Structure 1
Amino acid sequence: MSDQDTNTNKYDELRNIYKYYIDSYTALYRLKTENEEELNTIYNMIKTELIDSNNYFPKSIVRDILNIIPYNNRYTKSYLYLAKRITDDYHVTEVNKIPTICSFLFYKEYGITLYKYKKFKEIQFQNPNIHSENNIFTAIMDNDKERFIQFIERDDFDKEKTLYNSLYPIVDKGATLLELCCYHGAVDCFKLLRTKFDSQIAHNCIDFSFLGRNQEIMSECLKHQKPDEITMKYAIISHNIDFVTFLMSEYNSKMDLLACGQYKNLESLLVYFDQKNDINKCFIYSMMFDIPSLCEYFLYYGANINEKDLFGKTALHYMAANNSIQTAPLLLSRDIKINEKDNYGKTALHYAAENNSKEIAELLLSHGANINEKDRHGKTALHYAAENNSKEIAELLLSHGANINEKDDYKKTALHYAAENDNDETAELLISFKAKINEKDEEGKTAFHYATYNDNIEMAKLLLSHGAKVNERDKDGERPLHKAAFLQSKKWSNFFFHMVQKSIKELSLVSLLFNSQHHFLKQKSQNFFFYMVQKSIKKMIVKKQFFMLLQT
């Protein structure tokens, strides 16, 4: 059908149909309670409307909930509580693609690790308990004017103070006190900073004000800064449709449909569709909501199933990247190009592998996806599976004939990526499928180099037990054995001794002595070092020993 046949009252019609989805995510993004009874009401809505009635994956909902925390961190514990209810009721044990700080807080609160990052417990976060302490930041969060005044009247008060914290969208350069006021909607604290210290309104202020949702702060910020695409993004995250339409009408701001999908703001996408009638764009990004009837609606009214966006992505790319399993059969039943590449040379199968979407990968392969297709950097789906620890996808790809030792443009194999990213389980799988242990990339590094460089002793043990060469040089002349000698932990000291014993025939003794002495003497471990070398020398023939010394 043509565009002219489209229902003229599209927004009202579609808003009514998908009210269940819009209201559920609006309740999550605009959450303002710590009351358990009220939280249970929200949970029951999510459970009924999204999971039980519309078959959304519980782990996807958990991911969505935890991803909200950096944009509404005052209610961090409320989001953790909702996520815990879902993990308990639906036996969710692992969730990927969530902020590491959120996974850490979930672990701290409940003792459960959702994000299986190997060095997760070793990560040092900046002030993870910032809001539980008696400080100026908590006063701002609570908009506690009296307590805030106490802080700013101290002799040591620094008006330029900034907060570096992973719970906020800005981490690298920190958030100023005025920006924090905007983020939390702390209008009283905001006014004090403006009147007493003449704190300047930066662009982050206007962006954050849309998250804080305080009209007075927003109005003041708009007097000093002009909204841009970041402002629109935060308006979309706020899930306040009035903010979005205000920017569109008053400032001619462009709708960010990708952000609509990323932050589950279906209502904003419907507003854009109602105003612009851009069926193809809306169709592409509708994949991120995984609603088959919405996808079918756009196709019925003439959407081009192979249309591409600015990034060269088709609906199939977004379907795979977002694990939209309910919408997948509908797309694949049409004349869609299964191996179409985006601007990065990636196919839908690349995205399925990258995001561990096993069901999607199976469907793509059954419909003719090229298993060894390469992106513009020469990476196959198996490279992405290994890089992102998508073990199930890797196993699926290998069982369908993926080339296990295929190299990308940097001459890296899947095993290189598994080792480089500390993905032990995937590495073990690759080795079981006969991956070449000592293959070198363009820098001359083997997987064993990456294991030692990353201080991953479990990976090193795995590789060594399957024939990794500890004395192999890269292009800079570095050997895994040298790096192991410099690692300071006790576990590496013991393992280093094992490496020397197991690989004595490979060793260049002079290089070993020089590098190891430097480290162990510095660490006051001379006795251990000489004991280790003496044990190794006993295994060498004297003639061979001197030969090696002369040749090095």
Structure 2
Amino acid sequence: MIDMIGKICKKSLHYRHGYIELMKRIIEGYQCTDIFNISFLSQYDDIKINTPEYAIMNDNEDELLYHLKSKRLDLTKILEKCCLRGAVNCFKLLQKEFHVKITKKCLDASLKGNNQHIINECLKENEPDQYTVEAVIASHNFANFYKLITEYDVRIRAKNCAEYKNLHAFIYILIEDNFNLDFLIAPSFHIPSLCEYFMQYVTDIDYADEKGVTALIYSCFHYSTDVAEFLISRGANINKKDSTGHTPIHFAIISYWDDHDDLSLYNSKVKDLVELLLSNGANVNAKDKDGHTPLHLASLFGTKEIAEILVSHGAKINVLDATRATPLDLTIQREKYKYKINSKPETEYQEAKKIQALLKLHGGITKHMNK
């Protein structure tokens, strides 16, 4: 939940203080044991004063007017920023004094900014398209969502509802959608009972889309342990592969690596999920089309703790991928090129070193040593 609110806040920075307070209360109220870094949101308070960005963030039209008269600025981009931040006074200034054209980007940004006056003005000048729909789903403003789908010829994609965790919009479009496809997407909401509802209409729990992705794979991709546990209890195939050869455990390891800020949060998201899959018969040495086993992927993208779990469940230490690289080769490559799974290269470097030490402790070798 904290993770989701943080993502929403990044798109609504003018409400950041309220979001920060909400996250703090959730952490305190539920006595969260996981480490959540929400301090990054406060960095936006450090935006330099006496800048156009600062004026827009605070919707100060007098300050913005000063900058517009004293500097050469791209007025179109300034207007787009006003739309995104819901800065209605600054928006009116640009319209009245400078007659800046309202672009399609302004419309999409306005729906994220959630100021109704700005939205209405933008709709007068532009027709909504799929990007506009995505923006209104991201805003979680159901009134604007309903307006778009009833007054304009636009289609709502269930995947967009899942991406922005807009359950209200997702449920609204169920009547018109393919229940099999919606069943695949449902795990992204992290609500087991929602998946249970779809079980009434889906005959095959291992139904897959055109890429071979099943509901269990989706649950692992969205690191939803509770949903994965529910699907497994209903007989989901724990080793079913998608079109790239990835099994649920592959997805459990790689899904979160490009989306998180610290290793402790990665471990809290992935550890329980990986252990759940392994305890229910996941093939710890399953290979994808590139010959990568879960240990290969953990060595390249994961943490020592995840690699340790795989090793303890029988992962082959010196298994070769399609390029004849071992897991140790990949973690050395990771150290060398500093593949980043967070924003701190030094931490990433240290993690690669820890995995190397673990693999060597268990007899890990490189492909050159294997000759």
If the length of structure 2 is used for normalisation, what is the TM-score?
0.81
Letter of the structure 1 residue corresponding to residue 171 of structure 2: L
1:37-48 alignment to 2 at 5 Å? none
Asked if 1:352 is matched to 2:249, the reply is no
Residue in structure 1 matched with residue 363 of structure 2 by the alignment: 434
1:372-383 alignment to 2 at 5 Å? 372-383=285-296
Superposed CA deviations along residues 254-300 of structure 1, whole A, max 9, x for unmatched, are 223223223221111100113x1532122211111222222111102
Measure how far apart 1:430 and its partner are: 2.4
Q: 2:55 aligns with which of 112, 128, 139?
A: 139
Residue in structure 2 matched with residue 300 of structure 1 by the alignment: 200
- In structure 2, distance between residues paired with 1:187 and 1:203: 17
Instruction: Indicate if the aligned counterparts of 2:183 and 2:202 stay in contact, CA closer than 8 A.
Output: no
- Larger relative CO (CA 8 A, sep 6+): 1 or 2? 2
Asked if 1:337 is matched to 2:233, the reply is no
- In structure 1, distance between residues paired with 2:244 and 2:233: 26
- In structure 1, distance between residues paired with 2:301 and 2:309: 15
Residue in structure 1 matched with residue 220 of structure 2 by the alignment: 320
Residue in structure 2 matched with residue 401 of structure 1 by the alignment: 314
Q: 1:201 aligns with which of 97, 102, 111?
A: 102
| Root mean square deviation of aligned Cα | 2.8
Superposed CA deviations along residues 216-237 of structure 1, whole A, max 9, x for unmatched, are 3223323443323222222111
- In structure 1, distance between residues paired with 2:195 and 2:296: 31
Measure how far apart 1:200 and its partner are: 3.2
- In structure 2, distance between residues paired with 1:179 and 1:319: 36
- In structure 2, distance between residues paired with 1:272 and 1:280: 14
Measure how far apart 1:132 and its partner are: 5.7
Residue in structure 2 matched with residue 273 of structure 1 by the alignment: 174
Name the SS of the counterpart of 1:306 in structure 2. Answer: coil
Residue in structure 1 matched with residue 72 of structure 2 by the alignment: 158
Q: 1:241 aligns with which of 131, 136, 142?
A: 142
Aligned CA distance change for structure 1 residues 221 and 376 (closer, same or farther; 3 Å): farther
Superposed CA deviations along residues 493-540 of structure 1, whole A, max 9, x for unmatched, are xxxxxxxxxxxxxxxxxxxxxxxxxxxxxxxxxxxxxxxxxxxxxxxx
Superposed CA deviations along residues 295-331 of structure 1, whole A, max 9, x for unmatched, are 1111023353122235432110111122322222321
Aligned CA distance change for structure 1 residues 399 and 231 (closer, same or farther; 3 Å): same
Name the SS of the counterpart of 1:339 in structure 2. Answer: coil
Name the SS of the counterpart of 1:326 in structure 2. Answer: helix
- In structure 2, distance between residues paired with 1:372 and 1:230: 41
Superposed CA deviations along residues 355-381 of structure 1, whole A, max 9, x for unmatched, are 452222223223332222222333221
Residue in structure 2 matched with residue 503 of structure 1 by the alignment: none
Asked if 1:288 is matched to 2:188, the reply is yes
Aligned CA distance change for structure 1 residues 240 and 129 (closer, same or farther; 3 Å): closer
Name the SS of the counterpart of 1:137 in structure 2. Answer: helix
Aligned CA distance change for structure 1 residues 296 and 192 (closer, same or farther; 3 Å): same
- In structure 1, distance between residues paired with 2:105 and 2:318: 47
Aligned CA distance change for structure 1 residues 129 and 293 (closer, same or farther; 3 Å): closer
Q: 1:182 aligns with which of 83, 88, 97?
A: 83
1:74-153 alignment to 2 at 5 Å? 74-87=14-27, 90-95=31-36, 105=40, 128-129=44-45, 131=47, 133-153=49-69
- In structure 2, distance between residues paired with 1:65 and 1:431: 40
Measure how far apart 1:395 and its partner are: 1.2
Instruction: Indicate if the aligned counterparts of 2:308 and 2:358 stay in contact, CA closer than 8 A.
Output: yes
Aligned CA distance change for structure 1 residues 92 and 177 (closer, same or farther; 3 Å): farther
Aligned CA distance change for structure 1 residues 238 and 381 (closer, same or farther; 3 Å): same
- In structure 2, distance between residues paired with 1:266 and 1:88: 25
- In structure 2, distance between residues paired with 1:375 and 1:315: 19
- In structure 1, distance between residues paired with 2:101 and 2:362: 60
- In structure 2, distance between residues paired with 1:428 and 1:256: 46
Residue in structure 1 matched with residue 344 of structure 2 by the alignment: none
Measure how far apart 1:79 and its partner are: 3.1
Name the SS of the counterpart of 2:226 in structure 1. Answer: coil
Residue in structure 2 matched with residue 167 of structure 1 by the alignment: none
Letter of the structure 2 residue corresponding to residue 427 of structure 1: Q
Name the SS of the counterpart of 2:225 in structure 1. Answer: coil
If the length of structure 1 is used for normalisation, what is the TM-score?
0.56
Gaps of 5+ in 2: 257-266, 340-348
Instruction: Indicate if the aligned counterparts of 2:107 and 2:126 stay in contact, CA closer than 8 A.
Output: yes
Letter of the structure 1 residue corresponding to residue 274 of structure 2: A
Q: Matched residue pairs, number?
A: 339
Instruction: Indicate if the aligned counterparts of 2:75 and 2:100 stay in contact, CA closer than 8 A.
Output: no
Gaps of 5+ in 1: 1-60, 96-101, 110-126, 163-175, 441-445, 447-552
% identical equivalent positions: 35
Residue in structure 2 matched with residue 425 of structure 1 by the alignment: 354
Aligned CA distance change for structure 1 residues 219 and 346 (closer, same or farther; 3 Å): same
Aligned CA distance change for structure 1 residues 195 and 414 (closer, same or farther; 3 Å): farther
Letter of the structure 1 residue corresponding to residue 73 of structure 2: K
Aligned CA distance change for structure 1 residues 88 and 335 (closer, same or farther; 3 Å): closer
